[in-house]
Amino acid sequence: MKLLEGAEAARGTASGMAAVTTCLMALVKTGDHVVASRALFGGCRYVVEDYLPRWGVSTSLVDGKDPASFSRAMRANTKAVFIETPTNPTLELVDIRAVADIAHDHGALLVVDNVFATPMLQKPLQLGADLVVYSATKHIDGQGRALGGIILGTADVIEGDIHTIIRQTGPSMSPFNAWVLLKGLETLPIRVAKMTESAGKIANFLSGNQKLARLYYPGHASHPQFDLAEKQMAGGSTLLAMEMAGGRDAAFALADALALIATSNNLGDAKSIISHPATTTHARLSDEVRAGLGITGGILRLSVGLEDANDLIADLSFALDQV
């Protein structure tokens, strides 16, 4: 992972959430402040919004699409900025270079959750980030077999506080999982390349379909941040999202009519998986917060797997006809 990422040091953790929590706990203490983009994976949002404040760390959630919103939120005691890009599930992008500059101007470190992009499509450290965190449970394993996480960054932080916290508090990766995940890493480049290629074909197929209110794919010209995607990513992502014009009923009808694509919540898997964020990963949030994130009942997230792209398109085509 150090070689893929261009990082000085790394540590494995028991899960992606162990990586995120350990990383943030290492950077802050009571009285500090954290700025984060508000479109975060559910667990990450919980750590930032609910958990850190319990320990006297105040947090501000901002609109990740707008670098100026990070500038406005920075305070004298801001120690860390935490972002995820592309975001789950609506694949919004955060300008890593711009936010890294803002964090550094204020003496804070930038932590990037790079799970959706993978190290094959985006290298945050090269764009100015200080630390990168992964859920290895996703593309790195790639077959839904094991949980794991990774924290990468400069040797001073990783071999200092992060090493000490892992050693003393126990969120370590198990040796067996490390072995499984290393086997996954051997095929990561080929899998991500194939999944990204298929996702691009599916985005082209879905684009303009009358049953969709909107398509979300960073590699498609219809994405409002397509230019930023071209600038900071080496591909359009293995995930895409769609908003069904018929809302929640249409989303459920589509998912139920799919035969090849499974309904589940994992992502980055060899099997294509569709999920309904409003009733699963983001069910904990209030209707109002969900609406602010654009996670309506009509949104479906598709993680594109390794099946033949034509078979996936045929499955989607049939299911769309049933809606």
238 binds ligand PLP (CB under 6 A): no
In the complex, minimum distance from the CB of residue 31 to ligand PLP, in angstroms, rounded to a whole number: 26
Secondary structure of residue 240 in the 3-state scheme: strand
137 binds ligand PLP (CB under 6 A): yes
82 binds ligand PLP (CB under 6 A): no
17 binds ligand PLP (CB under 6 A): yes
# residues near ligand PLP by CB under 6 A: 17
195 binds ligand PLP (CB under 6 A): no
- Expressed in angstroms, the distance from the first to the final Cα of the chain is 43
Distance CA(63)–CA(258), nearest Å, equals 34
92 binds ligand PLP (CB under 6 A): no
> For residues 277 and 315, which CB has a smaller minimum distance to ligand PLP in the complex?
277
In the complex, minimum distance from the CB of residue 75 to ligand PLP, in angstroms, rounded to a whole number: 25
| Residues 21-80 close enough to bind ligand PLP by CB under 6 A | 41, 43-44
Residue with tokens 């150090």, as numbered in its chain: 2
Looking at residue 185, the DSSP 8-state letter turns out to be H
CA distances from 141 to 128, 132, 294 (A): 27, 17, 29
In the complex, minimum distance from the CB of residue 11 to ligand PLP, in angstroms, rounded to a whole number: 15
The angle subtended at Cα 297 by Cα 263 and Cα 219, nearest 5°, is 70
| Residues 114-133 close enough to bind ligand PLP by CB under 6 A | 115-116
Beta-carbon count within 10 A of 135 CB: 28
171 binds ligand PLP (CB under 6 A): no
| Residues 139-168 close enough to bind ligand PLP by CB under 6 A | 147, 149
Strands, E, within the chain: which ranges? 9-13, 33-37, 58-62, 78-84, 109-113, 131-135, 149-153, 212-216, 239-244, 262-263, 273-275, 299-303
* Site for ligand PLP, rule CB under 6 A: 15-17, 20, 41, 43-44, 84, 88, 113, 115-116, 135, 137-138, 147, 149
